[in-house]
Structure 1
């Protein structure tokens, strides 16, 4: 030590549990509870403020204690508290890092038996810690130590003072606990050296090694002893003397070294060399060992061969496992077809390159050209097409660019498929079907609620409890480099915060031009190849996905199921599944399509089928009770479920089927509304005139700001076109108009009711009724233009269920009606661009002329 360190007058006594023994100038880490840590901190706060003591330093006395009787000896180690921390915020276990300073003799006033709590204050006379003397004793420890320690440690050990040598050897060679306690209680350096040499000779004898020659390391004249011991050693894991717990890592490295990337193999070799030089009690020992275990566990170059894609089998599998979703199935089949063609072209190219190289080698052999080792290897083992995607395949020299991925493996650079749709429509099962069609392993990563960038890129190893990111963990779990990884709930990943931006961290992962060298913070400078991974993402909405991330994906809409599709799903999948899960066997429940249709329409209202499955599960559980009762001697079991059983088992119907109005009255119009989660339906709009008013507009029905503005726009257009509509220049003279949307408890908003409100006002003021079989959706502008709206498919399906026969839509939405199911195509769809065309489609092309004549006749 370069300066004197002074201890305080009182030290808090910390018992060290067996087998921990702290020597001077070494460090240990121990775990304590919250109560023990609080006692330590209180003892530290009571340390005297000596003028020679640094107030920032914290000192304790660490004494080794046996676990059985906790008997205290008379010697301890004065130690500096380097750090006190805990891995988790809510954890009750604290880690205390201590650095030994000097041996101290305990007073006889201490009790012979010491419990773990509380640490007793130890009175110590203020004195400075001695600096270890470099003078060498008569006993030389180095000859015996060189036979037991790694060669890399020899020069470092020779440069240390003898007092530190004894303590370091006792800790590094893992002497028995009793021997280390004895050495701690031996203040004389010569006595410690004699005892350490005696133990090392016993270790050499147990290993079958003869006693060392004490003169083998004698110092030649004119040279220092430290320089003589610096013999060159080869930095190879096979030459290192590793502890027993590291030998499995060394064996794994020798076995898988050829599979690993050069960066990974070098990193493991470098860490093993470091581990051979540091004691196992060091805090860094466990961190470095865990790092090596992660690198050796990753599937470097290990791929699943898969199977050749059969498009017909894939198409049949999709049809058997999924009902509807025709557009999604078409895109999946396209993806599989392109994948198969690109894979075939890559394998043909690799085979041609291998044949050309083998031919060149054969020509050189015939001409007597001296071949190097590489040419011999190629000539004796030319790669075949079946081994084309192995990591050990020869690399094309053309791909030697450091900024380009090597072409020794097949990389699928297809766009990331993003399946977007409401919950319960089968997005995750589509991804599983893709994995089954390709014959690849499947792994799911749920991104919902991920708020920390380290969840994607991993934690740096300097943090306590650091782990790699989700992608590296997934590769270790599936044990191959080319799985199908599903990024579930991509729209629910966290945005930028003080933990970073996890959505931005996904950009490199999903970019085929970058992910062949993905950098995880935990792995450091060792890149991971994610280009062989096929990514499929799912989301419920595109609104919360960042534009750069969305730009890397190909969006595929997964619409909700119609009634006929839900009925088929219930019949083919849900009912058989629930009968088996509830112990009823394959034919334990029998029911008709009429009963299932009532369950679909009256007890569920969703785009997917999860609620439908829950209702069917209720029916099966009720039948399971009846079946169990019959086996106990009750009434005979009847497997059939009839319509009368629904109310008894499921209760009253939760939803009433929407039906259109039957009466024809002016001022009442049927609109179309989107209700979220892939559902749509009809929406009645009513209006009436209130005499004695001043032309004001009154709105009711729990309306939002957007729909209120649509009503004001519609009324403004009607007033401005009053003469053309036969209403005069002041259509609301002496009256107020009241607009109402029924179901006032349900909030309504959105830019899609403008055309229906306009038609309601015109119908009321002109006393012309609108047929109840007509439904409308669309927004209007102040000049009467009809603009596009969303949710067309869901709205039309809801209109069809309600008995609507004709729908009037914006002309810009015509492209959204091509994927309607066959059951909804029976409706008559009309497309308009202006308010005038809307009125003409409802009441005829001579509407304006007839209204003007009516106005003139009134005058």
Structure 2
């Protein structure tokens, strides 16, 4: 062919974007460019006897995106090609089947009548050493057999087997290289490099290298696939089987077992979630779709997604109006008055809080903590705030919480993991801005091996950081910034310091006897009458109480209207209560059957009385059921037994060595009787009654004060070194401590040593120094109320506690005389009688 048409000449050009045509190989080419279609038409226009008939030059473009390549845009080595068949399709498009003949080198390009013509000459191919080519061809055939054995069975076809066999049977080394280069799926750049290589030996070496690399890749892929198949878990096999089962059930028309997944996805689609929460849900749903629905992992993922669907989420750019902005302070004041008797200072502070929330809704207000003894209305105050603001109310107790996971939640790696109590409270509330009451904050356990729940709670309560609280279970930030947190506690000192620093305390002290009687009459009695079925008409007409404060208030109002009050005119159409209780019975319950600052035990005793009446009515006929029963004072002892708290009432008369002190407890104030007796001995001081170190030191200081001023105090005749002093405080099982019994100890000691009696109608509290000064103490309100309950008429207080007088209820001040003293001499002048005590009857 050295003198044939392929030695040199001009032929039409078919540029290819990415395909490569090797000599000796046939392939189809789809033509869409007008120049290419015209090149085929020109090549087939020659007569069959013309040597140039059906001949074209196929070259590879450097840039596949170039629609009109120039000479510089073509690789210099191309393939002289014969057109075997032309298949015409849509206008302007056709498919040709061509077969490569040999390599040619391009010398130039010109465009004639819409067709690209190239000048070419036969490429000078270097055959290389025949022995080396034969050896490389043999290696290449072995690699082809290895390559075909590594291919998956899906790749096998009759046409490919024929192409492989053709390459194996070929004896021309150069032709073997072109056949293999076309057979194996090399990268386009590698194919172009093989076409451009004119040295036969180098071309075969490059081909051996590429084919060996390709075989290694297939071997690694085969090993990985085999390892995956061998280690396919039982769970995944079941997933495949269940997928087939679902397909069978769908064909049979059975219910879709994945309907719950679709419902869950639909619920989540209807939720507007923050960005991080949405990403977590999408990721979990994608995992859930690939799981076996009956597996434990699927149950965990399903529960996790359901929490996201159930929780209320706050989107910063979609904030809704706060219903607290429309709060009416007059309505709030009336509501507080209806729900709570007394507590004027507390109500004032709550109204101030509501007013600030109305005027500055976006300001993060203080964190309120209602502190006081049990039963004084801390929880109901929080309910009133929620009802006034029109918000949902959720309460949970922190008593006994030892693990910070109770606050932050458990991580999902644990069996039975759940979110913390705060997230659970938000789910229960169903809104992003509820009022959450953290009850019994002082019962929160301290830090130990299980963590520090107080520190975990701090992140949620601190207004500066609770907009991104991260629960361990959810593992995404949750916004608590719109939640109003209110805390309650009995002892402020027991609250962890890290929380105490961020709380504003509102102290609720105990009630006076008059306040207790009013609360029992207006609030406790109507509720217990209804709960015990003693107002049958109202019970039948009212629905079951859902627990909201608004519904309870409506019921109480109806009950108050229906009840007949002493001295009031009957209300037309009012319903007769099933029992009548006089104020004398309520006073007896409050004084001799309960001894507390609140009214919780009073409510229990009242309920016990009404249960007895309910039992009698249930056993009687219908006629007697309609008649109201009357509870008298005599009935109280029959139903409740003998009184329980008579020992703390005022003493019957003046006594030597007995003084009435006042103490403070978490449940309110109480009387402390100090008893002193003098016996022969060696000057020792004996203290009993389970006294703490501070109270023991107060007794020692009082005795030292008396001994140092014995002559002035009238006990100079006492031989202290021959007398032992025994100080005892009754109720020995109850621990007692503190310095406030100092003046009571001094008075009792001086009374016993001097033989002068102490007034039984006077109580005192105050710390005493060695110089006789009386220092300030705490708990004045509770102590004065305790004295008032016990029937005391005079109370001695330190002069520095005069500032606490406004906190004392007016009802107590009306019955008491307060004496403010600064020195122990004033105490003795008020408490000691002028004449020696006589034997009391």
Give the C-alpha shift of residue 595 in structure 1. 1.5
2:511–2:785 Cα contact (<8 Å) kept: no
Instruction: Note the 1:411-810 alignment, pairs <5 A.
Output: 411=362, 413-524=364-475, 526-585=476-535, 587-631=577-621, 637-656=627-646, 658-661=648-651, 663-674=653-664, 676-681=666-671, 683-690=672-679, 693-701=681-689, 703-728=691-716, 732=720, 734-742=722-730, 748-810=736-798
**Residue matched to 2:821:** 832
Secondary structure of 1:482's match?
coil
The structure-2 alpha-carbon separation of the partners of 1:251 and 1:754, relative to structure 1 and needing over 3 Å to count, comes to same
Higher helix proportion (structure 1 or 2): 2
Q: Residues of 1 paired with 2:699 and 2:251: CA distance?
A: 99
The structure-2 alpha-carbon separation of the partners of 1:413 and 1:318, relative to structure 1 and needing over 3 Å to count, comes to same
Q: Residues of 1 paired with 2:809 and 2:513: CA distance?
A: 10
Alpha-carbon deviations, 1:161-206, whole Å to 9, x = none? 59669999864344489x8xxxxxxxxxxxxxxxxxxx98x89988
1:605–1:679 Cα contact (<8 Å) kept: no
**TM-score normalised per structure 2:** 0.62
Equivalent position to 1:268, from 281, 285, 290: 281
1:630–1:636 Cα contact (<8 Å) kept: no
The structure-2 alpha-carbon separation of the partners of 1:266 and 1:716, relative to structure 1 and needing over 3 Å to count, comes to same
Instruction: Note the 1:320-335 alignment, pairs <5 A.
Output: 320-335=338-353
Q: Residues of 2 paired with 1:806 and 1:157: CA distance?
A: 100
Give the C-alpha shift of residue 134 in structure 1. 7.8
1:416–1:553 Cα contact (<8 Å) kept: yes
The structure-2 alpha-carbon separation of the partners of 1:636 and 1:176, relative to structure 1 and needing over 3 Å to count, comes to closer
Q: Residues of 2 paired with 1:268 and 1:615: CA distance?
A: 53
The structure-2 alpha-carbon separation of the partners of 1:725 and 1:600, relative to structure 1 and needing over 3 Å to count, comes to closer
Q: Residues of 2 paired with 1:415 and 1:157: CA distance?
A: 67
The structure-2 alpha-carbon separation of the partners of 1:134 and 1:434, relative to structure 1 and needing over 3 Å to count, comes to farther
Q: Residues of 2 paired with 1:583 and 1:158: CA distance?
A: 80
Q: Residues of 2 paired with 1:489 and 1:742: CA distance?
A: 30
Secondary structure of 2:807's match?
coil
Alpha-carbon deviations, 1:362-409, whole Å to 9, x = none? xxxxxxxxxxxxxxxxxxxxxxxxxxxxxxxxxxxxxxxxxxxxxxxx
Give the C-alpha shift of residue 503 in structure 1. 1.0
**Residue matched to 1:286:** 299
The structure-2 alpha-carbon separation of the partners of 1:480 and 1:171, relative to structure 1 and needing over 3 Å to count, comes to same
Give the C-alpha shift of residue 290 in structure 1. 2.7
Equivalent position to 2:809, from 821, 845, 852: 821
Q: Residues of 2 paired with 1:743 and 1:641: CA distance?
A: 33
Q: Residues of 2 paired with 1:635 and 1:292: CA distance?
A: 56
Instruction: Note the 1:330-409 alignment, pairs <5 A.
Output: 330-343=348-361
Secondary structure of 1:831's match?
strand
Alpha-carbon deviations, 1:213-238, whole Å to 9, x = none? xxxxxxxxxxxxxxxxxxxxxxxxxx
Q: Residues of 2 paired with 1:521 and 1:166: CA distance?
A: 30
**TM-score normalised per structure 1:** 0.61
Q: Residues of 2 paired with 1:171 and 1:564: CA distance?
A: 74
The structure-2 alpha-carbon separation of the partners of 1:289 and 1:137, relative to structure 1 and needing over 3 Å to count, comes to farther
1:629–1:635 Cα contact (<8 Å) kept: no
Secondary structure of 1:680's match?
strand
**Residue matched to 1:255:** 270
Secondary structure of 2:387's match?
helix
Q: Residues of 2 paired with 1:450 and 1:313: CA distance?
A: 37
Q: Residues of 1 paired with 2:504 and 2:343: CA distance?
A: 17
777-786 or 735-744, larger mean C-alpha shift: 735-744
The structure-2 alpha-carbon separation of the partners of 1:158 and 1:650, relative to structure 1 and needing over 3 Å to count, comes to same
**Residue matched to 2:331:** 313
2:578–2:628 Cα contact (<8 Å) kept: no
Gaps of 5+ in 2: 1-148, 157-220, 536-558, 560-576, 835-841
Give the C-alpha shift of residue 619 in structure 1. 1.4
The structure-2 alpha-carbon separation of the partners of 1:498 and 1:413, relative to structure 1 and needing over 3 Å to count, comes to same
Alpha-carbon deviations, 1:215-263, whole Å to 9, x = none? xxxxxxxxxxxxxxxxxxxxxxxxxx9954432333234332xx21111
2:398–2:444 Cα contact (<8 Å) kept: yes
Q: Residues of 2 paired with 1:167 and 1:763: CA distance?
A: 90
Secondary structure of 2:487's match?
strand
2:683–2:721 Cα contact (<8 Å) kept: yes
Give the C-alpha shift of residue 607 in structure 1. 1.6
Q: Across the two proteins, how many residue pairs are aligned to each other? A: 572
512-521 or 610-619, larger mean C-alpha shift: 610-619
Give the C-alpha shift of residue 636 in structure 1. 8.4
Give the C-alpha shift of residue 800 in structure 1. 2.2
Alpha-carbon deviations, 1:792-851, whole Å to 9, x = none? 22221222233333222123333333211112113222223333454466579xx9xxxx
The structure-2 alpha-carbon separation of the partners of 1:788 and 1:134, relative to structure 1 and needing over 3 Å to count, comes to farther
Give the C-alpha shift of residue 734 in structure 1. 4.4
Secondary structure of 1:475's match?
helix
1:304–1:440 Cα contact (<8 Å) kept: no
The structure-2 alpha-carbon separation of the partners of 1:737 and 1:175, relative to structure 1 and needing over 3 Å to count, comes to closer
User: What do you get for the CA RMSD once the two structures are aligned?
Assistant: 3.5
The structure-2 alpha-carbon separation of the partners of 1:160 and 1:166, relative to structure 1 and needing over 3 Å to count, comes to farther
Q: Residues of 1 paired with 2:643 and 2:730: CA distance?
A: 21
Q: Residues of 1 paired with 2:499 and 2:489: CA distance?
A: 13
Q: Residues of 1 paired with 2:607 and 2:257: CA distance?
A: 59
Q: Residues of 2 paired with 1:243 and 1:486: CA distance?
A: 40
1:657–1:802 Cα contact (<8 Å) kept: no
2:776–2:800 Cα contact (<8 Å) kept: yes
Secondary structure of 2:494's match?
coil
**Residue matched to 2:180:** none
Secondary structure of 1:495's match?
coil
**Residue matched to 2:574:** none
The structure-2 alpha-carbon separation of the partners of 1:658 and 1:247, relative to structure 1 and needing over 3 Å to count, comes to closer
Is the radius of gyration larger for structure 1 or structure 2? 2
2:668–2:783 Cα contact (<8 Å) kept: no
Alpha-carbon deviations, 1:68-106, whole Å to 9, x = none? xxxxxxxxxxxxxxxxxxxxxxxxxxxxxxxxxxxxxxx
**Residue matched to 1:295:** 308
The structure-2 alpha-carbon separation of the partners of 1:174 and 1:476, relative to structure 1 and needing over 3 Å to count, comes to farther
423-432 or 160-169, larger mean C-alpha shift: 160-169
Q: Residues of 2 paired with 1:596 and 1:794: CA distance?
A: 21
1:242–1:276 Cα contact (<8 Å) kept: no
The structure-2 alpha-carbon separation of the partners of 1:643 and 1:666, relative to structure 1 and needing over 3 Å to count, comes to closer
